A and B are shown apart, each in its own frame.
Chain A
Amino acid sequence: MATTALSPRAGAYPRSRVYEWLTTTDHKKIGIMYITSAYIFFLIGGLMALAIRTELAAPGTQFLNPDIFNQAFTMHGTTMVFFFVMPMLAGFANYIVPLQIGAADMAFPRINALSFWIIPVSALLLFSSFGLGGAAAGGWTSYTPLSEAKYAGIGQDFWLAGLLLNGVSSILGAINILATIFKLRAPGLTMLRLPIFVWTVLVTSVLLIFAVPVLASGLVMLFIDRNYGGAFFDPAAGGDTVLWQHVFWFFGHPEVYILILPAFGIISEVLPVFSRKPLFGYKAFVLATVSIGVLGFGVWAHHMFTTGAVFLPFFSITTFLISVPTGVKMFNWIATMWRGKLRFTTAMLFAVGFLASFLIGGLDGAFSASTPIDFALQDTYWIVSHLHYVLFGGSAFGIMAATYYWFPKMTGRFLDERLGKVQFVIMFVGAHLTFFPMHLLGISGMPRRIQDYAPNVGWQDLNLLATIGSYLIGFGTLVLLWNMFVALRGPRTAGDDPWDANTLEWATTSPPPSYNFDRLPEIRSERPLFDLKHGGAGHAPALPSGEGSQR
Chain B
Amino acid sequence: MTATTDVLPTDHPVELAHGHGDGGINTALLGMLLFIASEIMFFAGLFAAYFSVRAKYGSHWPALPEGVEFAINPLVIIATLILVSSSGVIQWGLWRIRKGDRRGLNRAFALTMLMGLTFLALQATDYVLLADEGISLNGSIFGSLFFTMTGFHGAHVLGGVIGIGIILSRGMTGQFSARNHVAVEAVSAYWHFVDVVWIFLFLTLYILR
Q: Please name all residues of chain A whose beta carbon is closer than 8 Å to the beta carbon of B3 when the two chains form the complex.
A: 521-522, 532, 540-544
Q: Please name all residues of chain B whose beta carbon is closer than 8 Å to the beta carbon of A7 when the two chains form the complex.
A: 10-11, 13
B65–chain A nearest beta-carbon distance, Å: 10
Contact mask A79-110 → B, CB, 8 Å, 1/0? 00000000000000000000000111101110
- Residue A214 contacts which of B7, B42, B143 (CB distance < 8 angstroms)? B42
CB contact under 8 A between A184 and B20, given known A218-B45, A540-B3, A543-B3: yes
CB contact under 8 A between A518 and B10, given known A218-B45, A220-B148: yes
CB contact under 8 A between A187 and B34, given known A232-B141, A243-B53, A516-B16: no
Residue of B nearest to A225 (CB): B144
* Contact yes or no, B8 A520, CB < 8 A: yes
A508–chain B nearest beta-carbon distance, Å: 11
Contact stretch, chosen from B24-32, B119-127, B158-166: B24-32
B207 within 8 A of A: no
CB contact under 8 A between A216 and B45, given known A243-B52, A517-B8, A520-B5: yes
B82–chain A nearest beta-carbon distance, Å: 27
Q: Please name all residues of chain A whose beta carbon is closer than 8 Å to the beta carbon of B144 when the two chains form the complex.
A: 221, 224-225, 230-232, 239
- Residue A213 contacts which of B8, B21, B42, B139 (CB distance < 8 angstroms)? B42
A150 within 8 A of B: no
B59 within 8 A of A: no
A216–chain B nearest beta-carbon distance, Å: 6
* Contact yes or no, A187 B7, CB < 8 A: yes
* Contact yes or no, A104 B21, CB < 8 A: no
A348–chain B nearest beta-carbon distance, Å: 28
* Contact yes or no, A237 B141, CB < 8 A: yes
CB contact under 8 A between A221 and B8, given known A238-B141, A243-B53, A547-B1: no
Q: Please name all residues of chain B whose beta carbon is closer than 8 Å to the beta carbon of A224 when the two chains form the complex.
A: 137, 144, 148
A182 within 8 A of B: yes
B16–chain A nearest beta-carbon distance, Å: 3
Residue of A nearest to B29 (CB): A179
* Contact yes or no, A519 B19, CB < 8 A: no
* Contact yes or no, B13 A518, CB < 8 A: yes
* Contact yes or no, B4 A532, CB < 8 A: yes
In the bound assembly, the distance between CA atoms of A186 and B20 in angstroms comes to 6
B17 within 8 A of A: yes
In the bound assembly, the distance between CA atoms of A476 and B127 in angstroms comes to 59
B208 within 8 A of A: no
Size band of the interface chain A makes with B: 35 or more
A229 within 8 A of B: yes
* Contact yes or no, A213 B45, CB < 8 A: yes
Size band of the interface chain B makes with A: 35 or more
In the bound assembly, the distance between CA atoms of A176 and B140 in angstroms comes to 40
* Contact yes or no, B5 A179, CB < 8 A: no
Q: Please name all residues of chain A whose beta carbon is closer than 8 Å to the beta carbon of B38 when the two chains form the complex.
A: 171, 174-175, 209-210, 212-213
A149–chain B nearest beta-carbon distance, Å: 12
In the bound assembly, the distance between CA atoms of A543 and B2 in angstroms comes to 7
In the bound assembly, the distance between CA atoms of A387 and B48 in angstroms comes to 28
Q: Please name all residues of chain A whose beta carbon is closer than 8 Å to the beta carbon of B46 when the two chains form the complex.
A: 217, 221
In the bound assembly, the distance between CA atoms of A540 and B39 in angstroms comes to 46
In the bound assembly, the distance between CA atoms of A175 and B152 in angstroms comes to 22
* Contact yes or no, B141 A231, CB < 8 A: yes
In the complex, which residues 12-64 of chain B have their Cβ closer than 8 Å to any Cβ of chain A?
13-14, 16-17, 19-21, 24, 27-28, 30-31, 34-35, 37-46, 48-49, 52-53, 56, 63
CB contact under 8 A between A247 and B148, given known A7-B11, A179-B27, A186-B20: no
B6 within 8 A of A: yes
In the complex, which residues 195-232 of chain A have their Cβ closer than 8 Å to any Cβ of chain B?
209-218, 220-221, 224-225, 228-232
Residue of B nearest to A234 (CB): B141
In the complex, which residues 131-154 of chain B have their Cβ closer than 8 Å to any Cβ of chain A?
137-145, 148, 152
* Contact yes or no, A103 B37, CB < 8 A: no
Q: Please name all residues of chain B whose beta carbon is closer than 8 Å to the beta carbon of A517 when the two chains form the complex.
A: 8, 13, 16
Q: Show 28 A/B contacts (Cβ-Cβ < 8 Å), sorted by A.
A: A7-B11, A103-B16, A104-B13, A104-B17, A174-B34, A174-B38, A175-B34, A176-B31, A178-B34, A184-B17, A211-B41, A213-B38, A214-B48, A217-B43, A220-B152, A221-B46, A229-B139, A232-B141, A232-B145, A238-B53, A238-B63, A240-B56, A243-B53, A246-B48, A247-B48, A519-B6, A543-B3, A549-B1
- Beyond the given A179-B27, A221-B148, A246-B48, could you list 18 further A-B residue pairs with CB under 8 A, ordered by the A residue number? A104-B13, A107-B31, A111-B31, A183-B30, A187-B7, A210-B41, A212-B41, A214-B48, A225-B144, A228-B138, A232-B49, A232-B145, A237-B140, A239-B141, A250-B45, A515-B14, A519-B1, A532-B4
Q: Taking beta carbons and an 8 Å cutoff, which residues of B are in contact with A? A: 1-8, 10-11, 13-14, 16-17, 19-21, 24, 27-28, 30-31, 34-35, 37-46, 48-49, 52-53, 56, 63, 137-145, 148, 152
